[in-house]
Structure 1
Amino acid sequence: MMALATREEVHARLQAIFPDGTPNRAYVTRMLAASAVFTALYVDAIEGSGTFLGPKHVYRMTDEQAAQVDDAARATYATGILRTGGQIEGKRWYQDNTREPIRDETLREGLVAIGAVTERTDLATTSSKPRYALKESFAALFDPELTGEALQVRITAWQDAALNKGALARLAIVRRGAGVSVDQVLVTFPNGETRRMKPGPSSEITKAVVEVFAPSFLAEPAVVFLSESGNKVVARDDDLARSIGLSIQADKNLPDTILVDLGPTHPMLVFVEVVATDGPISQRRKEALEALVAEAGFPAEHVAFVTAYLDRSAGPFKKTVDSLAWGSYAWFAAEPERLIVFSEGHGSLKGRP
């Protein structure tokens, strides 16, 4: 059996292996995931070994058992804990009702879905037999002898080889958006014009809004107004605004970006607030923007409100999601083809899939 890292060391490595942007990151980086991976390593449930992990291995583990790292103790636990009435010394890590979160969230929706764990296909879905094993290349990342730069090189190589294309693309977007850059961010508008913005996460998200969101969700997009942190105006098209009946006045309530869809018979105005840390379109913010539109004489039914984030698994969205206004939308640069609708309607769900 391979040498063991501690559960705490496993937990720390999971943070590096699955950075912000990883699908279902919470499921594969929390302590419950570390417990599952540690236990799989403990019982040698690694692809090709012939040994498999079940949820019971995880929730019946104790600190006392985990400290017994000789091969005989590990092999005895792997089989003995599965027997009816099997008991071991010490207080169990989890209770029996943790079975479902281990099986469904940590394993099936987390580590199996992302390509780190394999699942037996020769067992009935109702079978209680262990069915999970760490993929060999993933298990190798927890070798306690592997540290520093060598560990990071191995992690990067595993991500490139093991993660699916969608996950890799999402990670790349998040890394670029969350990274520290010294270069200005060049934003290309729908009409081909370009503007430079100060480097930083907010500018990267704004760039994605203009270059990705606008052409994806608007038929004939155009930029009416664009600013960056510090209220510096990057672009402002008063002629375009007047042509659609909108008067833009210097106002503290102006959002980061104002887009317009010129495709419909009546243009659609889209207020976009970029959130790198805080400041979503809350109910108060939405009402202030609605008042601004009303003063300009623009029909409220032709206005949409969008809060743009880098990624839904990261802190800014989790921090602000409960303050997002009903009747608004949330969009993520890491998943550009998706749009969350915070509906305030009262329609029935009967007959819907």
Structure 2
Amino acid sequence: MTSLRPIISRELAADRLLKVFPREAFDTNLSSPISAAGVAALIYVGAVGPGTDTVWARPSTALWMQEDVLLHAATEKHRVAWGKAAMRGREKVAALLDSWGITFEQWYAQDSRESLRDDSWNLLRANNAMVTRPGVKTTSSAARWALADHFADLFDPMLEDDDLDAAIATWVENHMTTSARAKAMAVRDHARATDAVRVTFPDGSVRLLEPGHASLILKGVVEEWAPRKLHTPLVLAISEPGDKQAYVDEQRLQALGVSISVSQLLPDALLFDAGANGTFWVIEAVYTDGPIDVERKAQLLDWAAAQSIPAHQVAFLTAFESRNASPAKRRLKDLAPGTFAWFRDEPAFELRWDEIQDDGSKLAPVTSLKPKTP
């Protein structure tokens, strides 16, 4: 038998099933509690295939599982022994657990077998998430069920956040039917449209940014700061964590003779003020970290030079949520000279950090405060 995958809880299984098969589009039996129990139990015994050494399971494998087994019988030796006992019968499972000092308290009663098999596992198999043992009839009592190996990959506890979302998206693309993919896509698009941050550009067009505080700061920059600060503002690019090239105005960039390296340099936003001599504004939205410090400013000026943009036509803005926000308190001290800071909760103000310039217009020093005698 191949090495067993990490044990997962029913809660983790339920959460992942909902992400793969959102209830707005799929039969709720695909993400039901008993379906989650089935996934957790099959991973526990190693029923993942297909393969020459696949461990096959019955519905009773999930029915007879319990929390104490997942929590206290986690070694490979325990897992193999429990799986073998489950193949031999309920009494063998109870006897094994007794020898481990665990009271047998199974998750589901025996009459739940048909519900698990017909309402959950058959649906998962129809969606390419489960496989059945070749040559075993559907009426046979022999063990014949396993999770598809590519589907079981989605339940790795180490997969989280963006990596998990990417893995699910890849699985949907590679293994779901065309109609199922369409359903999943419709739900994702609806959720994005509902939760996304809507940003109105200076030309009146609207863009959707992924939900999050950084997107709200960028929204403030475009809708609040730019109209106040810039004469004729144009949004050339906006990036975000989930899509590093969420919006890039390729036509305008080409017209300006500018290119951006998405993988290396793309700032959170690039704006252009078409008024006066024309100024490129590089924006970084800081909700956790990433202000325009000396090193970042130098990198961006090198980029500008490569685009034949004079340094005096490049300006820099670090945008924060608030002066009271922790990132501002920590990173204001790191702002590069010659850059600006702006705060979303005080949109009519900005800060500038720069050297004091002596232009020769200083007043002569006051030598006496006594009034002159007439």
TM-score when scaled to structure 1? 0.49
Between Structure 1 and Structure 2, whose CA radius of gyration is higher?
Answer: 2
